[in-house]
């Protein structure tokens, strides 16, 4: 089923969903399946699997020269989606990114997903290339997520790359995109960012998942601004429980988000990360209860492929 069909079938009840990462290259998929297994008790209708672009690593050769090598550290998003779907009979949402792909490679991946019966995709620009000047880095044909949205929308109409006419065969993807209640870090202001978010919806995005935030007011105000602009698709809040004191600055730096003063004060009082984890879980429970009471369509947890904190939160909220 499509994400939007799950949301419609819930008839206003708030759903529970999670995001996981593919295992690091060399680790088995079994550990990931063990993380997901206990979370299935809370009946997520869909599970997102992230995509990770190739990185350039530097290897010293026998002749002493340094060689650039492209390496995908967490490969296998599409296969992992198929494995999770097969094991738990749950819908999966692969993330697809612009970074390092040609439109032809993207079309190929979309056909694979279509034939696997995976009908949901979250389309993203992708994290930026860590070594943009490297000669070995694959260029990205697309600059913005909206370019991907346009390609998938075309496929849903039977318009494939380099074909003169529309075909009878059509894909049937439900398209999700990302949004940032505290603004995307490259956007000059929130209004401009919202203009481009509306563009993604106008190109065919059917639902939105937000970046993590720790102050619900930011989500509520963001939803109001979207509605005022005519962005009427479901907006699913993303939630992450803090687990380490160092995340006060690392999450702020990495995701360009603000931490509420009350949360920072509580965490600074903690003697160790065990205590921080408790505060993080309690904060996420309060956030989740308020979002649920306000009628959020689904609460989407960034698990980072760990289950304990999300289990505790889900037990308290669902
Ligand atoms: P876009 O929508 O393309 O926007 C990027 C910037 O460009 C914004 O500032 C926007 O305002 C601006 N913009 C958009 N369109 C235009 C235009 N036509 N002209 C001018 N400006 C424009 N990254 C990964 O690598 N893998 C993942 O699996 C992944 N999953 C994610 C899941 C969620 C829910 C979220 C919130 C983020 C995820 N990311 C992931 C991170 C994401 O790739 C980065 O945040 C990226 O920098 C932006 O992606 P986007 O799709 O929102 O970009």
Asked whether 226 and 194 are in contact (CB, 8 A), the reply is yes
Work out the number of other CB atoms within 10 angstroms of the CB of residue 48.
27
Token pair belonging to 182 = 């505290």
Which residues, 6 or more positions from 130, have their beta carbon under 8 angstroms from its beta carbon?
A: 55, 56
Could you tell me the maximum CA-CA distance found in the chain, to the nearest angstrom? 65
pLDDT at 129: 75
pLDDT at 140: 80
pLDDT at 255: 96
Which residues, 6 or more positions from 137, have their beta carbon under 8 angstroms from its beta carbon?
A: 54, 56, 70, 100, 129, 131
Ligand 1, residue 212: give the atom nearest the CA: 36
- Whether residue 246 lies inside any domain: the answer is no
Determine if ligand 1 sits within 6 Å of the CB of residue 106. Answer: no
- Whether residue 138 lies inside any domain: the answer is yes
pLDDT at 8: 98
pLDDT at 178: 98
Asked whether 206 and 176 are in contact (CB, 8 A), the reply is yes
pLDDT tens string 63-109: 999 998 888 899 999 999 999 999 999 999 999 999 889 999 999 99
Instruction: Identify the segments of the chain with pLDDT beneath 70.
Output: 136
- Whether residue 265 lies inside any domain: the answer is no
Determine if ligand 1 sits within 6 Å of the CB of residue 255. Answer: no
Give the number of domains in the chain. Answer: 1
Determine if ligand 1 sits within 6 Å of the CB of residue 95. Answer: yes
Domain that holds residue 11: 3-241+297-317
Say how many Å lie between the CA of residue 300 and the centre of ligand 1. 17
Determine if ligand 1 sits within 6 Å of the CB of residue 77. Answer: no
pLDDT at 56: 86
pLDDT tens string 263-301: 999 999 999 999 999 999 999 999 999 999 999 999 999
pLDDT at 166: 79
pLDDT at 262: 98
Q: Could you give the CA distance from residue 252 to residue 238 in angstroms, rounded to a whole number? A: 15
Say how many Å lie between the CA of residue 47 and the centre of ligand 1. 20
- Whether residue 17 lies inside any domain: the answer is yes
- Whether residue 285 lies inside any domain: the answer is no
pLDDT at 310: 98
Instruction: Give the CATH number, domain containing residue 54.
Output: 3.20.20.220
Determine if ligand 1 sits within 6 Å of the CB of residue 193. Answer: yes
Say how many Å lie between the CA of residue 168 and the centre of ligand 1. 32
Out of 124, 202, 239, 254, mutate this one to test ligand 1's pocket (max ligand atoms within 8 Å of CB): namely 124
């Amino acid at each position: 089923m499509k994400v939007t069909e799950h949301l419609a079938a819930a008839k206003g009840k708030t759903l529970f969903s999670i995001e996981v990462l593919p295992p690091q290259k060399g680790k088995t998929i079994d550990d990931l399946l063990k993380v997901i297994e206990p979370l299935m008790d809370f009946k997520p209708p869909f599970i997102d699997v992230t995509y990770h672009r190739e990185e350039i690593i530097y290897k010293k050769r026998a002749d002493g020269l340094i060689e650039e090598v492209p390496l995908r550290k967490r490969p296998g998003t599409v296969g992992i989606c198929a494995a999770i779907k097969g094991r738990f009979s749950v819908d999966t949402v692969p993330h697809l990114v612009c970074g390092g792909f040609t439109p032809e490679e993207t079309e190929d991946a979309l056909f694979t997903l279509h034939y696997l019966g995976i009908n949901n995709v979250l389309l993203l620009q992708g994290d930026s290339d860590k070594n943009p000047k490297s000669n070995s880095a694959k260029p990205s044909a697309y600059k913005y997520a909206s370019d991907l949205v346009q390609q998938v929308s075309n496929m849903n109409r039977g318009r494939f790359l380099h074909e003169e006419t529309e075909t009878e065969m059509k894909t049937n993807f439900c398209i999700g995109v990302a949004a940032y209640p505290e603004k995307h870090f490259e956007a000059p202001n929130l209004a401009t960012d919202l203009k481009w978010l509306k563009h993604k919806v106008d190109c065919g995005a059917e639902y939105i998942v937000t970046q993590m935030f720790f102050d619900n007011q930011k989500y509520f105000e963001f939803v109001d601004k979207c509605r005022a602009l005519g962005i009427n698709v479901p907006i699913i809040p993303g939630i992450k429980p803090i687990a380490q004191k160092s995340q006060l600055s690392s999450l702020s730096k990495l995701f360009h988000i603000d931490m509420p003063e009350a949360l920072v004060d509580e965490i600074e009082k903690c003697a160790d990360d065990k205590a921080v984890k408790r505060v993080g879980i309690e904060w996420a429970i309060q956030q989740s209860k308020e979002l649920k009471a306000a009628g959020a369509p689904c609460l989407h947890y960034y698990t980072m492929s760990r289950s304990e904190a999300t289990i505790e939160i889900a037990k308290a909220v669902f």
